[in-house]
Amino acid sequence: MSAGVKVLPLGGLGEIGKNMTVVEHDGRIVVVDVGLRFPTPEMVGIDLVLPDFSYLRERARDIEAIVITHGHEDHIGALPWVIRELAEQHEPPPVYGGPLTVAMAESKLDEHRLKNVELIELDPGEAVDLGPFQMEMVHMTHSIPDSCAVALGTELGTVLLTGDYKFDQTPVDGSPADVSRLAELGREGVLLLCGDSTNVDRGGFSSSESQVGRHLQETFSRCEGRIVVTSFASNIHRVQQVVDAAEALDRKVVLVGRSMRKNVSIGRRLGHIDIPEGMLVGPRELTDFPDDRMVIISTGSQGEPLSALRRMAYRDHPQVQLKDGDTVVFSATPVPGNERAVNETIDRLYHIGCDVITARDAPVHASGHGHAEEVKLMLNLVKPRYVMPVHGDFKRLRLHAELAESVGVDPDAIFQADNGLPLLIDERGARLGQRERSGMIFVDGVEIGDVADVALRDRRMLSADGIFVVVVTIAEQDGSSVADPEVIFRGVPFLDQAGELVEEIRRAARETLERAAAEEGIREIDLLQQMLHDDLAKLVYDRLRRRPMVLPVIIEI
């Protein structure tokens, strides 16, 4: 009897971002994608959100390889942290991807000073053996070059993970998706399809990326001043089309944002971007040319707090100062969850006096994800025995399941899973298994921490209601107060009654210490701190109807 296949999503289901899928067969593991997502506003002070990959830490010796479908952050961004953690348990596994994907992976690992990692470029159609798997990458079209689906051959059949894709018949690089290979895999027998669900809620077919170029040029031709175009730094094809539009109108190009400069450099080195000699100038040269000769390509299309465009909008960028008459073109749409940050950035741009053009105003963006008809096409091409929608929130996962049913997939063969819920397939059939640990890991700076870390709760409390620090001095012998308690507060909105409330807190602190000394004989510092916290927190809430952090500090003399 053949060993079964276990497909465990650790990220990307019920959300847009942090894609990571574990495929296990005969005791060996291949990890497909290691993505991240950006924090939501309530995640105060958090820089990045990673999938909880504890399952991989515990199975580090069993991992044959990490395979990355393409170079977007939600598929590659967690790689340095995953590699570092796995390297503590065992020699890190090799990382496979297309040439651009591998170059981006190498850049990320270099930033984190991770050197001893085997990075392997794999051309589409080239098969390699990874333990019990035979792995092949299938060329797909997306908004970044070298995007691939991953086909993992097993004794039971092929597990096909599409990555992000669309069926663009006129892609910028002239290389459409390998439809014939997908159909061939379908004839050979696809056991399971894990398909992109991002745009299943949009009918018809997506527009071609190549159409964006002429619309950008039309938009640029109507602009009299400087033009700022913001898009994903990894959208290499979009950058090329902005450059082409700028060249047609005799404008110079400035790159702003570290990731934009880095990715364009990689793209030029690999031949994906062609910028004419003398066209690219540095930010310091902005004032050397008339405004109607300049195009700035910037990061920040998602309103990220420290991105170049966000800093420009808040007049905090060291090199680019926006002004009345500039035009900002958003050649991207907000990722679900980022709408608020993007709208705030746009509003600040209007306040400066800029004109703002978004995909609602002109066709200056084309999604890299296929619409409903393309999802149906994928299902009909590969004819999977089982379907597990991935890469989408729960609404999109359900819509993908409905599309699969509409093209003839047995409803009992469609599995709407969740992060941490594995799909188990063997010769008897398929079923959802016992839940494994999953969730989020937060990155603060470059360090990672548990999702349950109380630091996040404390940050929320501090940001919402401020902090009281109450310093009391007690005698070591009997615990009695020997000095007036000192009260320090920050970020607490009660200025009109500050003096009165501070005096009440002092009085309450003295009473708590007297009660502890006289009635209960408490001397332990931690117990005294807990009593002070409880009494003072209740007092503050009764007076302010707020819950600031209350931090008692006890000094013994």
Helix (H) or strand (E) holding 258: helix 258-269
Picking from 169-183, 325-339, 375-389, which range would have the lowest pLDDT averaged per residue?
325-339
Residues 6+ positions from 324 with CB-CB distance below 8 Å: 352, 353, 354
Task: Characterize the bridge pairing of strands 227-230 and 148-154.
Answer: unpaired
Contact between 138 and 148 under an 8 Å Cβ cutoff? The reply is yes
Burial of 396: CB neighbours in 10 Å, binned 0-12, 13-18, 19+: buried
What CATH homologous superfamily does 5-204+367-450 map to? Ribonuclease Z/Hydroxyacylglutathione hydrolase-like (3.60.15.10)
Q: Which single residue is written with the structure tokens 């009391």?
A: 472
Return the ∠ at Cα 78 (arms to 125 and 132), rounded to 5°: 40
124-147 pLDDT per residue, tens? 999 999 999 999 999 999 989 999
pLDDT at 527: 80
> In this structure, what are the phi and psi dihedrals at residue 191, rounded to the nearest 5 degrees?
-70, -45
Tokens of 66: 């990490």
**Residue 452, Cβ neighbours under 10 Å: how many?**
8
Residues 6+ positions from 444 with CB-CB distance below 8 Å: 45, 46, 47, 455
pLDDT at 41: 64
Domain range annotation of the chain:
5-204+367-450, 210-357, 466-556
Mean pLDDT of 46-61: 90
User: Which class would CATH give 466-556?
Assistant: alpha beta
Dist. CA 215–CA 217, nearest whole Å: 5
User: What does DSSP assign to residue 414?
Assistant: B
Q: How confident is the model at residue 436 (pLDDT cuts 50, 70, 90)?
A: very high
pLDDT at 151: 98
User: What does DSSP assign to residue 17?
Assistant: S
150-186 pLDDT per residue, tens? 999 999 999 999 999 999 999 988 899 999 999 999 9
Look over the chain and give the mean of its residue pLDDT values, rounded to a whole number: 89
pLDDT at 445: 59
Contact between 272 and 173 under an 8 Å Cβ cutoff? The reply is yes
Nearest to 194 by CA among 47, 397, 497, 408: 397
pTM for this one? 0.80
Fold category of 210-357 in CATH: Rossmann fold (3.40.50)
Picking from 101-105, 310-314, 553-557, which range would have the lowest pLDDT averaged per residue?
553-557
214-262 pLDDT per residue, tens? 999 999 999 999 999 999 888 899 999 999 999 999 999 999 999 999 9
Q: How confident is the model at residue 451 (pLDDT cuts 50, 70, 90)?
A: very low
pLDDT at 495: 57
Dist. CA 151–CA 154, nearest whole Å: 10
Q: How far is CA 170 from CA 176, 177, 206, 208, in A?
A: 7, 10, 12, 6
> In this structure, what are the phi and psi dihedrals at residue 133, rounded to the nearest 5 degrees?
-95, 150
Q: Which single residue is written with the structure tokens 């709408």?
A: 339
Dist. CA 452–CA 71, nearest whole Å: 30
519-547 pLDDT per residue, tens? 655 557 778 888 888 888 888 888 777 77
SS3 state of residue 192: strand
Dist. CA 120–CA 205, nearest whole Å: 34
